[in-house]
Structure 1
Amino acid sequence: MGTGSTAQGTVASPVLSVRNLSTSFRARDKWKTVVRNVSFDIGSQETVAIVGESGSGKSVTSLSIMRLLSEQASRIEGEVKLNGRDLLSLSAEEMRKVRGNDIAMIFQEPMTSLNPIFPVGFQIAEALRVHQDISKANAKAEVIRLLEKVRIPNADKRFDEYPHQFSGGMRQRVMIAMALASKPKLLIADEPTTALDVTIQSEILDLIKTLQEEEGMSVLFITHDMGVVAEVADRTIVMFRGDAVEIGQTADIFRNGQHPYTRGLLAAVPVLGSMKGSDLPRRFPMVDLETGEKKDPPRIADTVIRDGAPILEVRDLTTRFPIRGGAFGRTRGVVHAVESVSFDLYPGETLSIVGESGCGKSTTGRSLTRLITPQRGEVTLNGFEVMELSGSKLRKMRQSIQMIFQDPYASLNPRMSIGSAVMEPFIQHRFGTKSEARDKAAALLDKVGLSADMMQRYPHEFSGGQRQRIAIARALMLDPKVIVADEAVSALDVSIQAQVCNLLLELQQSLNLSYLFISHDMAVVERVSHRVAVMYLGEIVEIGPRASVFNNPQHPYTKKLISAVPVPDPGRRKIKHEVDAGELKSPIRPTDYVPPKRDYVEVKPGHKVMVGEEF
């Protein structure tokens, strides 16, 4: 593949031309090929998407083009030409000048790409000053403009803040601003919208399209989101186990995919609206990626006991962060991250929290587990008064509630084998012997789609999706009652996402687990949830049964979220989402700010909507 007609990957005067690209890694004195003879072209202002399951070689392809793989541990063969210039023949110094100037890359995990000891503004300005003759003052002004363009609120004030002070979605927007700083000829976007909610995702995709038109920029888009592929890609490359199994026009691939894996991948895509007529969560269809055959699993029995006591009760949970500045570090403002949030979670129930990046979803989850200390509120978990606990009692409480974090790489110790990482909570909480921990870890790794013989490997040896599965296995080691899943499937391609969601639903049914499911993927939320809470600027603006919220959204923000969901249909590519971007409001308030009392109206039993709130 990769030669012949335009649909197969060849274009006239390509910006990027890749021929017979093969990449191998050294493993125990042998070379293992993970990308084999991949060929394609990208034309001026064209977007080409690479899709495939986690570990298929799509990210390795992009890293090979950028020459970001270790020269000692990897071998790149073939031809990679940028505007006729062979990148594989350049010296290391010449390639450094190309990166960030002619080619820019947005990485999948922003926290590993940003230096934690420097402010984000400084890091973007540095990227500008390395490639351009620009003064410090002009660089700062340009950085603020870029941050505003990717909708970082209060960009001038956040210039001097550090990566850990930003939410996962905001860090991804910082990375996008950095990549776009030098107006590159080619942008390689490796899962650039993974951490973003649908409204910001829609705006970022529109931003990239606008820059393509203004700057003549080409894009290589790597993603597992077939809805995004349908919206942005002119042509699509489908990769499976290191091979490009199908290349063609995106519309042709969606309508008439030829390879069984392509058909299987499309069959696994969750589609918003597919749950109409069902009040309960439903397992995802399972697809045989070898044959493309689809099998609908049985529906899930209702395990929620409404007339029993909730496993988790939250009342008026409030978490705020001071903003300090000046010579004496005085408090200049307060971030109202979570403001008077209340809800119940029942045994065997999934309550999903959705909302814009930075709205307080993750902070809510961290506050419940006391990884962050709230200012006030009442939290009762399985008989524990969470807010009053400390020391050994707090540690005991955390056996009942476990968290799957948004960024799997940041939550895994890079110096600890994944077997040790999964076993650690079992051993630390003294649940059994090391041998018992090893057996349970091996069984759980097998359940999440990995194998026991991987236990000696380290986090850097796994793809992003595989690392997320490791994190899920670790969360299950203590047999918790509640799991806070913070974007637990955001890094997974659709086929693995379906497997992991089905696993979570099966575990819920067999163990009566409760999930607080934090996600920006509305199609997945619709599939797995019993109830849904919509958050905006730290507050719940709408909460109710999943069917009621999705089929009859009442709050303007809920309607905005649902309308922004990308649809996996290339025929709708020219249709604009009716999303009024506006200005992203800020949760930062003056120190003397007193939040107004909120009122809710019940539109249907259990379906409540905030009233009297400016949107």
Structure 2
Amino acid sequence: MSLAQSAVEGVVGLTEPVLSVRNLTTSFKVEDQWRSVVKGISFEIAPKETVAIVGESGSGKSVTSLSIMRLLPKNASRIEGSVKLAGRELLTLPDEQMRQVRGNEISMIFQEPMTSLNPIFPIGRQIAEALTVHRDISRAEARAEVIRLLEKVRIPNARNRYDEFPHQFSGGMRQRVMIAMALASKPKLLIADEPTTALDVTIQGEILDLIKTLQDEEGMSVLFITHDMGVVAEVADRTIVMYRGEAVETGPTEQIFHRGQHPYTRALLSAVPRLGSMGDRKLPLRFPSIDVGTGEQVELEDVRDTVAKTKTPILKVRDLTTRFDIHSGLFGRKTGAVHAVEKVSFQVHEGETLALVGESGCGKSTTGRSVTRLITPTSGEVTIDGYNVMQLDKTTLRSMRRSIQMVFQDPFASLNPRMSIGSAVMEPYIEHRLGTKAQAREKAADLLQKVGLSPDMMRRFPHEFSGGQRQRIAIARALMLDPKVIVADEAVSALDVSIKAQVCNLLLDLQQSLKLAYLFISHDMAVVERVSHRVAVMYLGEIVEIGPRAAVFDNPQHPYTRKLMAAVPIPDPSRRGIKRNMAIDEIKSPIRPAGYVPPLREYREISPGHLVQVA
């Protein structure tokens, strides 16, 4: 029996499936040739069942969902095989009838809600449109139904938020709006394409809870597309593992997790960071690595202690405050300020990693940019390698930046698309006049080799590399000036699970060989636990808890720290169906009126170096 046949016949129960996909093959036209991206995938989804398609970027999972919805461009794509919704063939339906199916019988939630919502229309009107297109109802009835849907997806104060615009909602609340829109016509099938990848861990937990609850209430089937095995364990009844366009393994989620047969399945599972896996270890720990070809685990050395025992830290921050003024009215008077960072203090020694964690909007990225003077702080003291950062003029500021470099979240946005990667990596060395072009080229080639790339790639451009490779290029560029501190701002957040493991291991290797200090900014608690020596938890611009990694993770004291940890998805299928019942309030606003004086904060020492803000 073929894998495709077993996937179809493995569906539990004898009821007619909601969705039946057989031998789906999707090809794209590239230079007058058809290239298959999805290759003969088959599966079924039963009523009220959740099936997850898991795989990394480029595996074909999103193309599978777009093929089912027939949303691919006709002139550049070709879809073959069979897709049946409740026994009705979708691939041969006339366009007008297919339009009635979309949003009515099948709905889809996309990864980035801001690109899916129209920025110039209120969210209530956009959801109402999904109702009026498919149902014969009045405006008043549509408004009442939209408010009911907004309440159903747990948006606080739904009636008053009907007329608000997408930019007035947080990322998590925008995703709730998208779910409300998808549920407007009570679809038989909901396709969720990476709906939590771009979200903070607490908001991700809320969205997963919400999808489970709504599935119970509405009785719909769900096709969940993701690369996060922790999410898969929590939501899926059955799992399909995709690799290079093919379904390499399929079966009940528990079987996939505990008895996965394919090397790629085992590679995905081994690379998932698990919260609480550090045991009594004091030092960071490399991520497990598996050879995808053989499925055998590659043995990795333990990380050696690189933290300098000197009393003088390489980076010292005291009472750092960064505020952004808000001007309004006819004369543009100052009416308030965004208190992005408020009296933040910490220090980092040579060879040490301090992780700065918290949700979007908590001020962690602004802290990183303030430390490097990419943003000018309002007040405070910052000392880097002997430089008093707050008092530097343009010339000395330029010299200081040789000591501290940044690696940003999206390397494609931070690399010039018109510049070869060799030129991009060489540029800082040449701009700082540290040597000749020949010396710059030699050093760039050496660094590219150090980060796992070949020097003969220097003539290629950013678009010719994968996301993980681009991040390696960004790291090589940051190392060109021999910095002592690197600010890694969500440097692995957007990467697939195995690529994330590779880049984290690379950072640990570079720290060991070059004694680098890292300010590691992240919202991923499971990754932070493995790579950091100390952890600082930020909330509303303030550090609410800071201490050695083991102390903070083993004995979290602040309610917000405990909330962050409780929200981390655990790759254990036995947790399927468990709901966290987390509060759904949006993160509070850091905007304060003009003249506002923040309260003086006090900290209590729980154990040596472990401090918690007193409420």
TM-score interval, smaller chain:
0.7 to 0.9
Q: Is the 8 A contact 2:147 2:162 kept in 1?
A: no
Question: In terms of mean alpha carbon deviation, does 219-228 or 7-16 score higher?
Answer: 7-16
Look up the match of 2:209: 206
In structure 2, C-alpha distance between the alignment counterparts of 1:38 and 1:198, rounded to whole Å? 31
Look up the match of 2:174: 174
Look up the match of 1:369: 372
1:304-329 C-alpha deviation (Å, 9 max, x unpaired): 11324212111111222344555555
Look up the match of 1:545: 548
Paired AA for residue 246 in structure 2: D
Q: CA 1:313 to 1:187, structure 2 compared with 1: closer, same or farther past 3 Å?
A: farther
What's the offset of the Cα at 1:430? 4.8
Q: CA 1:322 to 1:268, structure 2 compared with 1: closer, same or farther past 3 Å?
A: same
In the alignment, which of 1, 4, 8 is matched to residue 2 of structure 1? 4
In structure 2, C-alpha distance between the alignment counterparts of 1:113 and 1:46, rounded to whole Å? 26
**Alignment length (residue pairs):** 605
Look up the match of 2:353: 350
Look up the match of 1:502: 505
1:389-400 pair list within 5 angstroms: 389-400=392-403
In the alignment, which of 39, 43, 48 is matched to residue 46 of structure 2? 43
In the alignment, which of 522, 528, 531 is matched to residue 525 of structure 1? 528
Q: CA 1:578 to 1:3, structure 2 compared with 1: closer, same or farther past 3 Å?
A: same
Point out the structure with max Rg over C-alpha: 2
In structure 1, C-alpha distance between the alignment counterparts of 2:458 and 2:148, rounded to whole Å? 45
1:473-488 pair list within 5 angstroms: 473-488=476-491
SS in 2 for 1:2: helix
SS in 1 for 2:561: helix
- For structure 1, the 5+ residue unaligned runs are none
In structure 1, C-alpha distance between the alignment counterparts of 2:268 and 2:484, rounded to whole Å? 33
In structure 2, C-alpha distance between the alignment counterparts of 1:480 and 1:378, rounded to whole Å? 20
Paired AA for residue 602 in structure 1: E
Q: CA 1:54 to 1:468, structure 2 compared with 1: closer, same or farther past 3 Å?
A: farther
In the alignment, which of 260, 280, 284 is matched to residue 281 of structure 1? 284
Q: Is the 8 A contact 1:338 1:363 kept in 2?
A: yes
Look up the match of 2:312: 309
In structure 2, C-alpha distance between the alignment counterparts of 1:277 and 1:409, rounded to whole Å? 38
What's the offset of the Cα at 1:38? 1.3
Q: CA 1:223 to 1:438, structure 2 compared with 1: closer, same or farther past 3 Å?
A: farther
Q: CA 1:345 to 1:470, structure 2 compared with 1: closer, same or farther past 3 Å?
A: same
Q: Is the 8 A contact 2:127 2:180 kept in 1?
A: no
In structure 2, C-alpha distance between the alignment counterparts of 1:144 and 1:431, rounded to whole Å? 64
What's the offset of the Cα at 1:597? 0.5
What's the offset of the Cα at 1:341? 0.7
SS in 2 for 1:80: strand
| 1:555 and 2:568 matched | no
SS in 1 for 2:25: strand
SS in 2 for 1:181: helix
1:144-183 pair list within 5 angstroms: 146=150, 149=153, 170-171=170-171, 173-183=173-183
Question: In terms of mean alpha carbon deviation, does 142-151 or 29-38 score higher?
Answer: 142-151
Look up the match of 2:23: 20
In structure 2, C-alpha distance between the alignment counterparts of 1:380 and 1:155, rounded to whole Å? 50
What's the offset of the Cα at 1:244? 0.8
Q: CA 1:599 to 1:107, structure 2 compared with 1: closer, same or farther past 3 Å?
A: same
SS in 2 for 1:516: strand
Query: Superposition RMSD on alpha carbons, in Å?
Result: 3.8
Q: Is the 8 A contact 2:7 2:43 kept in 1?
A: no
- TM-score, normalised to structure 1, is 0.85
In structure 1, C-alpha distance between the alignment counterparts of 2:494 and 2:368, rounded to whole Å? 19
In the alignment, which of 209, 217, 221 is matched to residue 218 of structure 1? 221
Look up the match of 1:191: 194
Q: CA 1:114 to 1:581, structure 2 compared with 1: closer, same or farther past 3 Å?
A: closer
Q: CA 1:393 to 1:267, structure 2 compared with 1: closer, same or farther past 3 Å?
A: same
What's the offset of the Cα at 1:600? 0.8
What's the offset of the Cα at 1:511? 1.1
Q: Is the 8 A contact 1:487 1:517 kept in 2?
A: yes
In the alignment, which of 385, 389, 392 is matched to residue 386 of structure 1? 389
Q: Percent identity?
A: 66
Paired AA for residue 18 in structure 2: V
Look up the match of 2:338: 335
| 1:238 and 2:241 matched | yes
Q: Is the 8 A contact 2:468 2:503 kept in 1?
A: no
What's the offset of the Cα at 1:84? 4.5
In structure 2, C-alpha distance between the alignment counterparts of 1:81 and 1:461, rounded to whole Å? 37
Look up the match of 1:129: 129
In structure 1, C-alpha distance between the alignment counterparts of 2:465 and 2:12, rounded to whole Å? 32
Q: Is the 8 A contact 1:19 1:80 kept in 2?
A: yes
1:121-166 C-alpha deviation (Å, 9 max, x unpaired): 6477446436636759976995898499576999969986775x98
What's the offset of the Cα at 1:342? 0.7
SS in 1 for 2:599: coil
